[in-house]
């Protein structure tokens, strides 16, 4: 087993999972101009195998796309993973064995899967965030403040929209919003979330937090938390027009991990919120 000691230099060696996907390509493009990150591994299982990781972007990285996990992680300090829960957990096991850190932006994990990530963090440093964008994490802070101030007399609904290819609902970001709001109100989201309404539902329970999901087109990600009172509505909205915001946030997380040997962190830690 390779023993990993986090690099103290200004440059971090980064592998990207799902390198040929939409988010993977955005990460590779962002790294092109990042002075403190260097692409050393590109993982995917597609027709792009053995091609340069930047081929679809119009530039060369000198790194070929591979499907072999151990080969893709060879020489990497950290793996950035925005794939699928099952695949991420496979990557997690190898990273733990090799001592490679992780930035996980994958969503859709169940509680047992999240527990496996927490366990692995005893051995390697991990940033685990449903959304790595800087703006959305500031929005979480605003939501906590709003929820505390609007705790009585306001019904709370969370509306999220994403592209047609997204496989989980509600989005991880929407769920995190719900957790933030519920926590500020002294509630547990599992006890008060309403994910669907149909038929004769009766009057709205004021202690609940409702979710509505929209899927269509190429929407990158829109999230709104509605506080609906009598005579007024307050809406806190965050809209993503490009995945670049997720990529740049993920690279900030890579830098944050440089002096970390183990532990589970989120973007609030990365941004010092």
Residue 6 within any structural domain of the chain: no
Residue 4 within any structural domain of the chain: no
Same-domain status, 87 and 148: no
Same-domain status, 156 and 234: yes
State how many domains the chain has.
2
Residue 230 within any structural domain of the chain: yes
Terminal-residue alpha carbon distance, the chain? 36
Same-domain status, 127 and 247: yes
Q: Using DSSP, state whether 158 is helix, strand or coil.
A: strand
Same-domain status, 164 and 231: yes
Residue 21 within any structural domain of the chain: yes
Q: Is the dihedral of CA 15, 22, 114, 237 positive or negative?
A: positive
Same-domain status, 169 and 255: no
- 122-163 pLDDT, tens per residue? 999 999 998 999 999 999 999 999 999 999 999 999 999 999
Q: What is the largest CA-CA distance in the chain?
A: 63
Which listed residue (64, 84, 166, 260) is catalytic? Answer: 166
Which listed residue (91, 162, 223, 248) is catalytic? Answer: 162
Residue 266 within any structural domain of the chain: yes
**Is 91 in the active site?**
no
Same-domain status, 37 and 96: yes
**Is 223 in the active site?**
no
Give the span between the Cα atoms of 221 and 243, in whole angstroms.
9
pTM, two decimal places: 0.82
Residue 207 within any structural domain of the chain: yes
The parts of the chain modelled with pLDDT lower than 70 are 1-9
Same-domain status, 95 and 173: no
What CATH number does the domain containing 82 carry? 3.40.50.720
Same-domain status, 248 and 225: no
Same-domain status, 160 and 170: yes
Same-domain status, 155 and 208: yes
Can you give the pLDDT at residue 181? 98
Can you give the pLDDT at residue 264? 98
Q: Checking phi first, is residue 158 left (phi over 0); if not, alpha (psi -120 to 50) or beta?
A: beta
Residue 2 within any structural domain of the chain: no
Residue 5 within any structural domain of the chain: no
Same-domain status, 182 and 255: no
Can you give the pLDDT at residue 24? 95
What CATH number does the domain containing 153 carry? 3.30.360.10
Per-residue burial over 241-260, b = 16 or more CB atoms within 10 Å of its CB, e = otherwise: eebebbbbbbbbbbebbbeb
Same-domain status, 170 and 118: no
Can you give the pLDDT at residue 8? 41
Range of the domain at 46: 12-132+243-271
């Amino acid at each position: 087993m390779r023993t990993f000691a986090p690099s103290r230099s200004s440059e971090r060696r980064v592998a990207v999972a799902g390198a040929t996907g939409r988010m993977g390509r955005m990460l590779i493009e962002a790294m092109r101009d990042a002075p403190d990150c260097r692409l050393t591994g590109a993982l995917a299982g597609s027709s792009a195998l053995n091609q340069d990781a930047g081929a679809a972007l119009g530039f060369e990285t000198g790194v070929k796309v591979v499907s072999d996990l151990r080969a893709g992680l060879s020489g990497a300090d950290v793996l950035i993973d925005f794939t699928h829960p099952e695949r991420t957990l496979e990557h997690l096991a190898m990273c733990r064995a090799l001592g490679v850190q992780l930035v996980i932006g994958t969503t859709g994990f169940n509680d047992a899967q999240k527990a496996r990530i927490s366990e692995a963090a005893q051995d390697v440093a991990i940033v685990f965030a449903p959304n790595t964008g800087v703006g959305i994490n500031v929005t979480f802070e605003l939501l906590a403040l709003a929820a505390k101030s609007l705790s009585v007399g306001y019904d709370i609904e969370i509306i999220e929209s994403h592209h047609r290819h997204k496989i989980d609902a509600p989005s991880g970001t929407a769920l995190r919003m719900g957790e933030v709001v519920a926590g500020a109100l002294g509630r547990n989201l599992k006890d008060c979330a309403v994910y669907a309404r149909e038929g004769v539902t009766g009057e709205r329970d004021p202690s609940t937090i409702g979710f509505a999901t929209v899927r269509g087109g190429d929407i990158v990600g829109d999230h709104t938390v509605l506080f609906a009172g009598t005579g007024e509505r307050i809406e806190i909205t965050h809209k993503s027009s490009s995945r670049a915001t997720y990529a740049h946030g993920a690279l900030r997380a890579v830098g944050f991990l440089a002096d970390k040997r183990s532990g589970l962190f989120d973007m609030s830690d990365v941004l010092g919120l």
